[in-house]
A and B are shown apart, each in its own frame.
Chain A
Amino acid sequence: MTLSMNSPDKIIRADCISKVFVHEGVEIRPFHNVSLEIRRGEMLAIMGPSGSGKSTLLHVLGGIEPPSSGDIWIEGHNVAKLSDRDRTLLRRRRIGFIFQSFNLVPTLTVSENVALPLILDGVASRDAASRALASLQRVGLSDRLSHLPTQLSGGEQQRVAIARALVIKPALVLADEPTGNLDSARGRDITLMLRDVAHENHQTVVVVTHDLRVASHADRLIVLLDGRVTYNGKPGTDAELVAALKQEIDV
């Protein structure tokens, strides 16, 4: 494993990363020359208009998609230099993903979906099940253990995904619009939960969101626009932010 020259309190360091998709000769550049450092125990929100490259950035930061140029260090490992096996183990043990959609394996029950990273890691099934139950309790779904994903609502599926991301007590949680399908009360609960995870357990949480209220709970906010980071700082008050975003979107 390659060690970075980063200080140990940085969980992620992105150095001049760019992403280019080429499709039938047309180049799409979701982001360009982005440099970023994320501290342990920090809750970071990423905002930006639809199609601005938020999800892609999240995938690159989590090491499931390589950048077209630039380097990513996760917990001191240069992701590009890791073997597939090491990258997989890193994901399995250190990173929890929550996607915008397609989060769950449709043929596994709720409890199995949550226990999946543990099962894959060879944790004894009884142990895995009880940890899955604990995780599901946190998102308020402990009564739906044996249901299949298709028997849940979109928001419930999203919460199962959150439970799964948290079950391994990951160093890094990457969440792509975790509250997109939730009502405001639930959304707030989940956001607060993610913040607690970051502050109390010293885990890092990166949330992509369209919701200013979610962003306002974060320690730091990044706004992505036209492939560049146009804002990197405190979320501040709602009103200030709305104004800032509106202005940027109008440009």
Chain B
Amino acid sequence: MIPWAFFWNNLRLRPLRTLLTILSVAAAVAAVVSVLQATAATQIQLQSIHTTFDSPVAMEVIAADTSPFSPDDIPELAKQPGVAAVIPVFRVFTKAVAGGKDVRCLTTGTDLQQYRTIRDFTLQSGQMATNPGEVSLEASVADHLGVQPGSEIRIGARGLPWLLTMRVTGIYKLSAADSVEDTSAIITTLADASKLGRAPGKVNALQIVLHDRAEEAAVAERIRASLPRHLIVTKSASAGDLSRPTQAMIGVGLNVAALLSFVAAVFIVFNSFQMSVAERQRQLALMRIVGATVEQVRGSLYREAAFLGGIGTVLGIIPGMMGSSSLTHSMQEVMGFSNMVPVATQPHAVLAGLLFGPLVTLLSVWYPARAACDVEPLVALKSTHSNRQHFSRKVAAVAGVMSLLFAALMFTTTYFGIYADTASILAIAAVEVGGAFLLSELIKPCLWIYYRMIRCFFPVEAQLGHRQLIENFDRTALTVAVLFVVSAASVCVGNTTTSLTGNIQSWMDRTVTADYLLLASRPTVNMSDAESLPKELASRIENIPGIRMIDEITFTLASVNGTAGLLSVQLFDGYETLPIDLIDGVAADLPQRLRSGEALLGSVLANLLHVKPGDTVSVEVSGATHVVGVAGIIREYTAGGLMLQMDSVAARERFPLPSAHVYGIRADDSARSAVGEELKTVAREYGLIFQSLADLQELVRNLVSGITNRLFLILILALVIAAFAIVNSQTMNVIEQSRHLGMLRIVGMLQSQAFRMFLFQSLILGMLGIVPGIMIGVLMSFLTILSFQGVTDHGVEFVADARLLAAYLVCGLLLSLFAAALPAIRAARLKPLEAIHEE
């Protein structure tokens, strides 16, 4: 056995190298732990959004003609596999009267026990209605009518000749999220609601709650098959629809980030050990010449690696655990980001770090240790790095091509829909790894070009620096690979993040153009009797000074090629740019096509029906059927994307449509707040829902900002890792050359020349690694966004954020220079004789 002293002195005599090696393991472990931690935190945050905003009701069974039906027609529904509960509801638009005041509102009759499992109430006073003749009121309605628990109110509905007298048992508030989705102001028993709707004992919807892991589409298909002809399954629209596609995409994005951080960590550690062993090749050869066996030499390297890896792992775990949570904290403090759910330490992240550190360390030392012992000791004693470069390059080229083939294979499986998520994520990582390996083929030509460019400024330094890079090809290639990998990873994460948030923002900006909205009720696809806005309202608000434009929007249930969708009808004339987020179709033709009666289809609906612009679909509304041309495909999150938009005039010529459900109102800039106040009064007067653009945007922003903040946190982590890797590898590059530097200094190299030579090298290494890293990072970001298509039908537009990329390039190169500058100053200041003896 090789004595401990040998091993110990190796570490002690080269403190900087030992420190850097330990730090590289620590950084890699910290990276893995913190990214996993941040990823888990984001997933938890997603879940919290899911539970806050997403309806547990996956779908509803309604009558094709939206008329009431008897639940006894389909007794077996609850027994279908995957179905957790079937909740009968009867919704009816009503007018509530008390003490000379009245209000229009939606009344929902249901089985309260079951209903409570899907809706979140806070009782303000009294208790919820459970018996016939009892109602519970939403707090604002109770306020408006001035009633208390125990009071009596009278409720009427359209077509009902008399008012029912009911007793108020309780006053409740819905949670913020539920109130977006469910505007029921009165909750009563199923029996009373069906009486109000003139269909006693019937329901107008069966809400279906699924088990956690049930496949929604499959269950829907089975239910559809079991239904009698007059009943259909519709997708339930919920506020969660807005976030669900985002959630799915972020899920993919997170996994990409986690895997890329893992790859980067492996490269960082491998680089450290490869350099550390390669540098000592002569020493190891000498050990063998004096009689150490290959096993002993390898054993001593493994022992050293285990030791350094152990320390590094321990050092990395703590900052890894703290990293993400303290970053969360500081982001909240500094940038005022709220709504980031605090997350406890994830055991799996810590465990991954504990396993990753030692395992990757040993794997990283295995290859160089084997390579070092494969060479005959005498050859090794005499060789320079250049003698071995051929071998490494061949291996690298083969590994690179294999990685790319693997990526291609994975993309092919994705295309056929086999394990699409996992496959695409693996493929993206494989592109990165393949790129890193193949990059070594590009180094020589690029090096030559860069050298030519810089030579005219610093001829001496460039010439010597260039020679060192060429002759120590292994070291150059590895440093470049590390810079490449971390750049590609962080650019991919960064660009994907900005694309994602930019998309949500642009959808919002383009589609929500009204300053204020007035709604009789919220649009859902299953509303049997959606309340139109009162006729006299238009003349009432027209007279408000400062209003520029009123857009009347009508929603109705439509069957498009047999699939249920929501038809939204509005006037498109008054807009300079249409309030839509077009993803397919010719924008210039749209106004004319819409006027001629063509429709815009939501991307989800279009994908479901396999139609594209120029095709036609058959649309049925309330018994009237027409063939309608497809003018364009739009990104639309309302009604789960099962949306169809038509021009108001053209639609009314073809279909019997109720009058407007929503007024979108735009005000002159100067009068905006006055108009808002006035509209609020009107809304109260007529019992309407009033929304301002700011409210709506706030709602959406809140939905996504918690998530995007998390993504930015992961981006920051990625950048920190990248920065560390750049500093680490550049520092190593300099300290490796100490001895050569001593010789150069003795024959007359000035300190300033030595310094400039190192800066030249770091600049070149930076450009060799970071420039292609950015390019491949953009490609990977594109592939990531492409793979989002697999998890959502809402297309996300890929945007290469030029500012982000330029900033990354500049920062990366500056960091490279800075990282090299400190050790370069140190090396240049070393006394030449000391430098010669420093190994």
Binding site for B on A (CB under 8 A): 59, 64-65, 84-85, 88-89, 91-93, 97, 102-108, 112, 116-117, 119-122, 125, 148, 150, 164
Contact = CB atoms under 8 A, between A and B. Distances in A.
A78 to B, nearest CB: 18
B740 A106 contact: yes
Secondary structure of the A contact surface, majority rule: helix
B460 interface: yes
Contacts of B836: 102
A119 B462 CA distance: 11
Given A64-B833, A108-B467, A148-B384, A88 B750 contact: yes
Interface in B449-479: 459-460, 463-464, 467-468, 471-472
Contacts of A88: 745, 748-751
A116 B746 CA distance: 11
Interface residues of B, number: 31
Contacts of A108: 464, 467, 471
A59 B464 CA distance: 25
A87 B463 CA distance: 23
A84 B754 CA distance: 13
A125 B833 contact: no
B751 A85 contact: yes
B788 to A, nearest CB: 48
B746 A64 contact: yes
B747 A97 contact: yes
29 contacts: A64-B831, A64-B832, A65-B831, A65-B833, A88-B750, A88-B751, A89-B748, A93-B748, A97-B746, A104-B743, A105-B743, A106-B384, A107-B385, A107-B740, A108-B464, A108-B471, A112-B467, A116-B744, A116-B748, A117-B747, A117-B748, A119-B463, A120-B460, A120-B748, A120-B750, A125-B463, A148-B471, A150-B382, A164-B747
A112 B753 CA distance: 17
A120 B740 contact: no
A59 B833 contact: yes
Given A91-B748, A102-B836, A106-B740, A119 B831 contact: no
A164 B383 CA distance: 22
A44 B468 CA distance: 37
Contacts, number: 78
Secondary structure of the B contact surface, majority rule: helix
Interface string B721-744: 000000000000000000110011
Interface of B: 382-387, 459-460, 463-464, 467-468, 471-472, 739-740, 743-753, 831-833, 836
Nearest to B464: A119
Contacts of B747: 91-92, 97, 116-117, 120, 164
Q: Which 5 A-B pairs have the closest CB atoms?
A: A92-B748, A107-B471, A150-B382, A117-B747, A117-B748
Contact of B748 (A59, A106, A121): A121
A203 to B, nearest CB: 17
A102 B745 CA distance: 13
B735 to A, nearest CB: 16
Contacts of A148: 384, 386, 471
B477 to A, nearest CB: 15
A93 B749 CA distance: 11
B463 to A, nearest CB: 7
Given A59-B833, A107-B472, A150 B467 contact: no
Given A91-B748, A148-B386, A102 B743 contact: yes
A107 B467 contact: yes
Contacts of B744: 105, 116, 120
B516 to A, nearest CB: 73
Nearest to A95: B748
A105 B740 contact: yes
A135 B385 CA distance: 28
Contacts of B382: 150
A93 B385 CA distance: 31
Given A84-B750, A120-B460, 12 more contacts: A64-B831, A85-B750, A91-B748, A97-B746, A102-B836, A105-B740, A107-B386, A107-B740, A112-B467, A116-B744, A119-B463, A122-B459
